[in-house]
Structure 1
Amino acid sequence: MGSLNAEPLLSLESIPEGALAEVEVRLGEDAESLILYRQAGAVRAWLNVCPHAGRRLDWAPGQFLKSREGLLVCAAHGASFELDGGLCVAGPCRGDALRPVAVEVRDGQVWLSPSPL
C-alpha cells in the first residue's frame, strides 16, 4: 500500500463555503469516490455511498442535491443526511450514517489524514 498523502485531494479554495465536492482517491487497493463538505474553513469527508442501497449519492459525477434545510439528499431514493456527522435523518436508511473518511487542511490543500477510515 503506497503513501496516502502523496498528493493533495484538492485545494481548499476550490470548494466554496457550504458546498459539496467529489474526488476519486485510492484507499489501500480500492479506488473510492469521496464527498467533501466545507464549513467554516474545515472540511469533512465521507465515502460517496448511500447506506441504503450502496449507490453513489450524486445525481451526476460531483453534482449533489442539497435540501433547503441544508441536508445532503441521495439522488437514488431520497435519503437525507445531516452534514455535521453524516447521519441519515429522513428516508429509507434513517438512523444509519455515511462512512466518514479522515481529512485535514494543510497549507490551503485538503489531504487524507494518515488514518483515512
Structure 2
Amino acid sequence: MLRSDASPVELVALDAVPDQGFHAVEAVIDGEAEPLLLYRDGAEVRAWLNVCPHAGRPLDWAPGQFLKSREGHLVCAVHGAAFELQQGLCVSGPCKGDALRAVPVRVEQGRVLLD
C-alpha cells in the first residue's frame, strides 16, 4: 500500500501501464486506502477510484482485469455502465450522467505519481 502525504508518491512505472489500457493500484487518498484505476493514453495517464458510482462496486471483472468496449469505453463488469476515458463520465447504463471520481496523477521521468 502507498501513502499520500505532502510529497508525490510513485504509484507505478509508466511502462507497467499498457498504452490504451488499464492498470490497478492502491493508494491512500484522504487518509483511506483506496483502489485506483489508471488509464494510459500515450505519455498521459488518468486515474479514478476503482468504484462504479451506480452501486459502489469495483469496475474490474477480476482483480486488475477491466473491460473496454469496441467504442473505447471502460465498462463496469457488474452492471454494464460505460464510461468515456477523458473525464470518466458515464455515457450509458444505470448511472448515465454520473462520473468516476478522478484522482490527480502526473507522469514524471517514466513514473506515474500521485499528486
What amino acid is the match of 1:86? G
How big is the alpha-carbon RMSD for the aligned residues of Structure 1 and Structure 2? Answer: 1.5
Partner of 1:54: 56
Report deviation, 1:106: 0.9
What amino acid is the match of 1:38? R
The CA deviation string for residues 49-78 of structure 1, in whole angstroms up to 9 with x for no partner, is: 100001000011110000011000000000
What amino acid is the match of 2:98? D
What amino acid is the match of 1:82? E
Q: What secondary structure, in the 3-state scheme, does the structure 2 residue paired with 1:37 have?
A: strand
Q: What secondary structure, in the 3-state scheme, does the structure 2 residue paired with 1:8 have?
A: strand
What amino acid is the match of 2:96? R
What amino acid is the match of 1:99? R
Partner of 1:71: 73
CA contact (8 A) 2:4 2:29 kept: no
The CA deviation string for residues 83-104 of structure 1, in whole angstroms up to 9 with x for no partner, is: 0110000000000000000000
Report deviation, 1:2: 5.8
TM-score of the two chains, using structure 2 as the length reference: 0.92
Distance in 1 separating the partners of 2:54 and 2:72? 20
Report deviation, 1:5: 4.0
What amino acid is the match of 1:71? H
Partner of 2:15: 13
Report deviation, 1:3: 2.1
